[in-house]
């Protein structure tokens, strides 16, 4: 992407899908010392921390691109609560979710709107390291804006793959 942005003189855009569920990550955000501790595992907590990690990753990318003076932006977003096939193997829950969901959840096209906006809209040009919801800049938690935590996550991740 860096080479393409440099040679084409066109801003690159990285869009990372997160969720409002990032708000449910526990106090310190990500406990690196217990990252694989099964005794404290919950699927809801793991989902919340993964969505927090997505925002932190976008923010660290944005910081690095700015530091390197690369014309690439990185942002994260909440697509909204969407009617999907996610619960298709939980028949009774799926029926309830689809029935009631039509009244309060977004359809797939509506759910894709913020992703498309952040990826393509001219108003987002030059806007980097931000969190979006409903095609607008939104405020994530203070942990999601913690640049020290973002850097720590980056370094931790690199350590896992080195």
Determine if the pTM surpasses 0.95: no
| Range with lowest mean pLDDT among 36-40, 47-51, 88-92, 135-139 | 88-92
Over the chain, what HEC string results?
A: CHHHHHHHCCCEEEEEECCHHHHHCCCCCCCHHHCCCHHHCCHHHHHHHHHHHHHHHHHHHHHHHHHCCCCEEEEEEECCCECCCCCCCCHHHHHHHHHHHHHHCECHHHHHHHHHHHHHCHHHCCCCCCEEECCEEECCCCHHHCHHHHHHHHHHHHHHHC
Average pLDDT of span 15-20: 96
pLDDT at residue 101, rounded to an integer: 65
pLDDT at residue 102, rounded to an integer: 63
Residue 84 has pLDDT above 70, yes or no: no
Please indicate whether residue 41 is annotated as part of the active site: yes
Question: Which residue of the set 26, 41, 89, 92 is catalytic?
Answer: 41
Domains assigned to the chain = 2-161 (3.40.50.720)
């Amino acid at each position: 992407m860096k080479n393409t942005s440099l040679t084409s003189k066109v801003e690159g855009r990285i869009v990372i899908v997160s969720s409002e569920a990032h708000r449910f990550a526990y106090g310190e955000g990500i406990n690196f010392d217990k990252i694989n501790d099964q005794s404290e595992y919950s699927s809801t907590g793991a989902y919340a921390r993964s969505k927090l990690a997505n925002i932190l990753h976008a923010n660290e990318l944005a910081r690095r691109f700015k530091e390197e003076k690369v014309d690439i932006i990185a942002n994260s977003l909440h697509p909204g609560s969407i009617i999907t096939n996610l619960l298709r193997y939980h028949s009774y829950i799926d029926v309830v979710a689809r029935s009631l969901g039509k009244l309060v959840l977004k359809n797939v096209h509506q759910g894709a709107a913020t992703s498309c906006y952040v990826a393509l809209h001219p108003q987002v040009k030059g806007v980097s390291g931000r969190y979006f919801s409903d095609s607008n800049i939104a405020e994530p938690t203070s942990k999601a804006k913690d640049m020290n935590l973002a850097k720590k996550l980056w370094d931790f991740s690199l350590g896992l793959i080195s």
